[in-house]
Amino acid sequence: MNEVCYEKLLDQARKNQTLVPIRSHKETAMTAKFIRDMAIEKEAITQFVQPDPATREILQEEVGNVKDGNLRDLLSFGFAIHHAGMSREDRTLVEELFTDGSVQVLVCTTTLTWGVNLSAHTVIIKGTQIYNPEKGRWVKLSSQDILQMLGCAGWPQYDTYGEAIIITNHSELQYYLSLMNQQLPIESQFVSKLADNLNAEIVLGTVRNRDEAVLARVHVSVSHFVLLVHFPPSDMLTRYVRMLKSPGLYCVGIDYQEDDDGLVQKCTDIVHSTAALLEKCQLIKYEHSCSQFQSMELGCIASHYYVSHNSMATYNQHLQPTMSTLELFRVFALSSEFKLLPVRQEEKLELAKLLEHVPIPVKESVNEPTAMINVLLQAYISQLKLEGFALVADMVFVQQSAGCILRAIFIFDICLK
C-alpha cells in the first residue's frame, strides 16, 4: 500500500496539499518516512517542498522548535505527522504549518479528521482495516469514519472541488463503493449494553418482571418492547424495527419466524438470557417460576455508580472483607471499564521506571494492562511526572473513571463487612 500511496502523492506534488489518515500512532511516522525515502531514492524529493525560499526557511527554523524526533526528521522535506502521542505544541505547530501551506503532506491518525478542522484538496485513506481490541481482530473502518475522512477534501471556502482516494483490498471494494451509491442501514448496538440498562430499570422499579421487560402495545397497535418506554426510545425502536426487517443480522433463526411475526418469543429469550446474566453476577434475584425480578445490593451499587455488570462480577470474585491496599489497587485495575486500554511497546520502558517509583508495589509485569492501570492511578495520586503524551491521555481516562469505581468498591466493601 505504501508504494501505491507514494504514486498518488506524487501525482499531487506541488499542485495540492494532501491528508493521509493512518490507523495507528506508530504507522504515521513509518509511512511518512517510507514516502520521503522513496522520493529521495527516485530523486523526486524536491516535488514535495514549495519552491519559494521563504517556505523552506520557515520549515528549517521550525525544525529547531520541534520536540518529536520523527517530526523533526521529516519537517524540512515538506512532510509532517500528527497524532495524540505528540505534545500539544508540536500538534499545534503542524496544524498551523499545514493551514498556511508550508507543509504539503500531512500523515495523521484517523482521529484528526474528527477533532481538528483541517482541509486539504486531496485525502488518501491508506488501508481500511483497524484493530478492534474488544473483538481481538482487525475490522473494517466504519462508514462514519470513512465519510468523515472524505469530508476533509475540498472544503468550499478553500477549494472548488476535492479528491478522495481509498486504498483497500479488492474484496472490500464493493462495500466502499456502496457508501457513495446507496444508503447503508443503521444497525442498533444497544444490545451490548442491555444488561446494565435492564439492571438500572430493575433498581428503579420500572421493570418488575420478564413480561414487563418484553412487550407492550401502544395505541397505534404496533408491538414494541416495554424497554422502549423506559430505555432510550430511539435505540430500542431502531433495534426492534431492524430486527423485524433483517432478522438474519440479529441472529433470529427460522424457528422464531415461523409462528411469531412480532418476534415476541425472541424478545422473551433476549430478556431471559440478560436477566440470567445479571443473576449470575449477583446483581438481581430472578425467580424463574414466576419471572419476577428483584434488585440486590450489588445491583444498586452498579446502577448508582455507573459500573458495568462485568466489573461487579470481578469485584464479587476478588474482594474480601479484609484486604491490603495493594490488593485493592489490583482489583481496581481489573475493572472492565479499562479493558480497551493497550500497553504500547514504546511505553514499556517508561512504565518500568514508574513501577520502581510508585508507593504501592505492583505484582504484575509491564506487559500486562492491569499493571499499567495500577501504575497510572498511583502516578496521578502521587503526582508523578509522565513523559509519554499517550500515557498522559490514558492517565486522564483512568482518573476520570476512578471516582465512580472506587466509590463502588468502597460501598461493596461495606456490604461485605
Domain at 346, CATH number: 1.10.3380.10
Q: Do 22 and 89 fall within a single domain?
A: yes
- In the 8-state DSSP scheme, what is residue 336? G
Q: Are residues 53 and 141 in the same domain?
A: yes
Residue 44 has pLDDT above 60, yes or no: yes
* pLDDT at residue 130 greater than cutoff 80: no
The reply to whether 314 and 297 lie within a common domain is no
> Tell me, what's the pLDDT at 226?
38
Residues 212 and 173 in one domain: no
Same domain, 299 and 313: no
Q: What is the CATH number of the domain that holds 9?
A: 3.40.50.300
According to the model, what pLDDT value does residue 304 have?
92
User: Would the pLDDT of 41 be above 70?
Assistant: yes
Sign of CA dihedral 386, 388, 391, 392: positive
Q: Over range 358-372, report the average pLDDT.
A: 87
pLDDT-based confidence at residue 218 (cuts at 50, 70, 90): very low
Q: 320 and 175 share a domain?
A: no
Query: In the predicted model, is pLDDT for residue 362 greater than 50?
Result: yes
* Cα dihedral 75/80/86/89 (nearest 10): 70
Rounded Cα distance, 123 and 110, in Å: 11
For the segment 292-312, the average pLDDT, to the nearest whole number, is 92
Please say if the pLDDT value at position 88 is more than 90. Answer: no
Domain boundary among 143, 160, 181: 181
For residue 374, the Cα-to-chain-centroid distance in whole angstroms is 21
Give yes or no: residues 268 and 314 share one domain: no
pLDDT score for 229: 36
- Of 181, 208, 230, which residue is a domain's last? 181
Q: What is the chain's mean pLDDT, rounded?
A: 80
Residue type, 138: W
| Residue 206 reports pLDDT greater than 70 | yes
Does residue 30 sit in the same domain as residue 82?
yes
Phi, psi of 354 (to 5 degrees): -65, -35
User: Which amino acid, 162?
Assistant: G
Pick from 270, 303, 336: which residue ends a domain? 303
Asked if pLDDT for residue 390 goes beyond 50, the answer is: yes
Does position 118 have pLDDT exceeding 90, yes or no?
Answer: no
Q: CATH no. for residue 264?
A: 1.10.10.10
Q: How crowded is residue 94: how many other Cβ atoms within 10 Å of its Cβ?
A: 26
Cβ neighbours around 74 below 10 Å, total: 25
**Which range among 106-115, 149-158, 277-286 shows the weakest confidence by mean pLDDT?**
106-115
Structural contact between residues 266 and 243, judged by C-beta atoms closer than 8 angstroms:
yes
Top-confidence residue, 79 or 344:
79
One domain, residues 321 and 294: no
What pLDDT score was predicted for residue 134? 61
Q: Is the pLDDT of residue 152 over 70?
A: yes
Report pLDDT for 261: 66
Q: What pLDDT score was predicted for residue 87?
A: 83
* Average pLDDT score over residue span 391-399: 85
Q: What's the one-letter identity of residue 383? A: Q
pLDDT in tens, 219-273: 222 333 333 334 444 455 555 666 777 777 667 777 666 666 667 777 788 888 8
Residue 333 structural domain: 308-416
266 shares a domain with 213: yes
Query: What pLDDT is recorded for position 230?
Result: 40
State the pTM of this model: 0.63
Q: What is the model's pLDDT at position 284?
A: 92
Residue 175: pLDDT over 90: no
Task: Please give the sequence-ordered ranges of beta strands (E in DSSP) within 161-259, or none if there are none.
Answer: 163-167, 216-217, 223-224
Reduce the DSSP state of residue 258 to 3 states and report it: helix
Of the two residues 385 and 346, the one the predictor is more confident about is: 385
Is the pLDDT reported for residue 313 higher than 60? yes
Average pLDDT over residues 157-161: 81
How confident is the model over 89-109, as a mean pLDDT? 87
Structure confidence by residue, pLDDT tens digits, 258-290: 666 667 777 788 888 899 999 999 999 999 888
pLDDT at 309: 93
Same domain, 37 and 171: yes
φ/ψ (deg, to 5) at 77: -95, 5
pLDDT of residue 61: 85
Residue 285, strand partner residues: 294
pLDDT at position 394 is 84
pLDDT at 110 over 80: no
pLDDT of residue 221: 28
Question: Is the model more confident about 144 or about 291?
Answer: 291
The predicted-structure confidence for 402-412, as pLDDT tens digits, reads as follows 989 989 888 88
The answer on 342 and 293 residing in a single domain is no
What is the rounded distance in angstroms from the CA atom of residue 191 to the CA atom of residue 212? 17
| Total domains present in the chain | 3
Output the pLDDT for position 364: 85
Which long-range CB contacts under 8 A does 339-342 form with residues at least 24 apart? 339/133, 339/134, 339/369, 340/133, 340/134, 341/369, 341/372, 341/373, 341/394, 341/397, 341/398, 342/133, 342/369
Instruction: Extract the runs of DSSP E, i.e. beta strands, from 133-222.
Output: 137-140, 163-167, 216-217
Higher-pLDDT residue of 110 and 359 is 359
